Amino acid sequence: MGFLWTIAELLVALVFIIASFLLTAVVSEAYRRRHNNTHVDAPAFFEDPNSLKQVPCPHIHDPAEKYISLVIPAFNEEHRLPGALDETINYLQERAAKDKSFTYEVVIVDDGSADATKRVAFDFVKKYTVDNVRVILLGRNHGKGEAIRKGMLHSRGELLLMLDADGATKVTDLEKLENQIHAVARKEFRLGESTSSDSSFRISDIPLAAFGSRAHLEEKALATRKWYRNFLMKGFHLVVLLTAGSGIRDTQCGFKMFTRAAARKLFTNIRLKRQFMRWCFDVELVFLCKWFGIPVIEISVNWTEIPGSKVNPLSIPNMLWELALMSMGYRTRMWRICS
């Protein structure tokens, strides 16, 4: 019996040592990253491939110059990007032809691609001009989070939409998010019918976010996915609930819209932007929305699984590590949030 007690005591001591080591590691790394919301050293300009001249790069703190900006992060997307861009720009041009007040830009952020993504993107700039399509080159791969952050910080729209390069969500669904943002703005700020007559009102000044959601497809997905993928998904939802809180059923859909005021607060503070951290990046956005009190509207969108869009299970330990850092950094105030 004494031997069993000795073994139990050793196990408890071992667990305590491991837990202490992990806690120390998390605290140390969170402290090291306390200033990690600074921007990467990519050039702050666009290049016009027609004239080869540098175009001044706007900033999120500047006044809006377009009605909507679409930010597309792209890493080795030479095959899927052309189809998605054709569909997107055709839709935007149709809206612009019907409504002269509708102005747009598409910002493609090449996240250090090793294929012909850069060439494909610049072909669209040549075709549609640098005023409507712009390309930001990050030089090396920083991860999807930093690519989106860079695009958001240098966009000109009153509304800013992030969407994936694979075209999994139809671009026409942006109207669902756009309409809800306008509806909530009228309701929350009691603008009502006076919006059209108030020349000082701009939707860009009201902090709001609208998240596309695939939660309505979950029941069908559960029936068709393998058991271990469902297990991982449920586990991830639990971790998200503990880290960022409740309220959003689908944090991971890559189709999200922000007003300029909301984007200014969120993307100047985002920290989880490394490679393979796309899941954590979206969770941090949810956390920051709640921190700032930015209303988030979750809206069902059409979604199609695109070949080549896969999740690497080996990234799960890194994901848990990053979420632990996020929780420690924000909750202990080591990670200061600039308002």
pLDDT tens across 172-208, in order?
999 999 999 999 987 776 655 554 455 567 898 899 9
Environment class of residue 326 by beta-carbon count within 10 Å: exposed (0-12), middle (13-18) or buried (19+)?
A: buried
Q: What is the pLDDT of residues 27-36, one digit of tens each?
A: 777 777 776 6
Distances (CA, A) of 331 to 20, 99, 185, 298: 19, 46, 30, 25
pLDDT for residue 165 is more than 90: no
Q: What is the pLDDT of residues 272-327, one digit of tens each?
A: 765 545 568 888 899 899 999 999 999 988 877 666 555 556 667 777 778 888 88
Residue with tokens 């809006």: 64
Q: Looking at this protein, which amino acid is placed at residue 46?
A: F
Mean pLDDT over each residue of the chain, to the nearest integer: 81
CA–CA gap between residue 205 and residue 244 (Å, rounded): 25
Q: What is the pLDDT of residues 109-123, one digit of tens each?
A: 999 899 999 999 999
300 against 42, higher pLDDT: 300
66 against 9, higher pLDDT: 66
Confidence of residue 217 (pLDDT cuts 50, 70, 90): low
Contacts 24+ apart (CB under 8 A), 233-242: 236/279, 236/319, 239/320, 239/323, 240/283, 240/286, 242/327
